[in-house]
């Protein structure tokens, strides 16, 4: 499992004083950088090999400004050319949001999905949910 700590910014709050629901996908994307580096070690967008096929977020509790949030990132499933990233946002020992993102290994020149190679599968398997 990968973890990253985030300190919510005031600009990420909504009128009710909670972290706005649009912020979680942004936090989750930022915490996926180690997964992205499996495919593009230097994170150079010109060499990018992934596309997002699906994003979903389930809100389980409130998140608040000025209080640290821990993002936990795991791999839930590995398919032929795609994989599912499971992420959770924890604050005060409580899972407040959970997200799943389906990523596809993609050949931009051919405009088609591409099978994951053995090195990529092995690297992803290090983070599989147990």
Domain spans of the chain, in order of start: 2-125
Percentage with pLDDT > 90 across the chain = 96
> How far apart are alpha carbons 28 and 96 in whole angstroms?
13
What confidence score (pLDDT) does residue 16 get?
Answer: 85
Do the beta carbons of residue 54 and residue 108 sit within 8 Å? no
Task: Quick: pLDDT tens for 14-24.
Answer: 888 899 999 99
> How far apart are alpha carbons 77 and 14 in whole angstroms?
33
> How far apart are alpha carbons 9 and 67 in whole angstroms?
9
Do the beta carbons of residue 121 and residue 78 sit within 8 Å? yes
pTM of the model: 0.94
Do the beta carbons of residue 45 and residue 18 sit within 8 Å? no
What confidence score (pLDDT) does residue 121 get?
Answer: 97
Q: Which fold has domain 2-125?
A: Thiol Ester Dehydrase; Chain A (3.10.129)
Non-local CB neighbours of 8 within 8 Å, separated by 6+ positions: 19, 23, 63, 64, 65, 66, 67, 69
> How far apart are alpha carbons 114 and 93 in whole angstroms?
39
Task: Quick: pLDDT tens for 99-113.
Answer: 999 999 999 999 999
What are the tokens at 90?
């924890």
């Amino acid at each position: 499992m990968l973890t990253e700590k985030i300190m919510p910014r005031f600009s990420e709050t909504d009128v009710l004083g909670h972290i706005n629901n649009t912020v979680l996908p942004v936090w989750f994307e930022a915490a996926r950088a180690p997964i992205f580096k499996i495919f593009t070690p230097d994170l150079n967008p010109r060499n990018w090999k992934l596309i997002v096929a699906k994003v979903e977020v389930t809100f389980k509790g409130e998140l608040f400004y000025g209080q640290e949030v821990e993002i936990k990132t795991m791999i839930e499933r590995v398919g032929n050319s795609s994989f599912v990233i499971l992420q959770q946002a924890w604050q005060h020992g409580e899972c407040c949001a959970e997200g799943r993102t389906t990523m596809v290994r993609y050949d931009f020149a051919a405009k088609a999905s591409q099978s994951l190679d053995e090195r990529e599968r092995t690297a992803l398997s290090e983070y599989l949910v147990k």
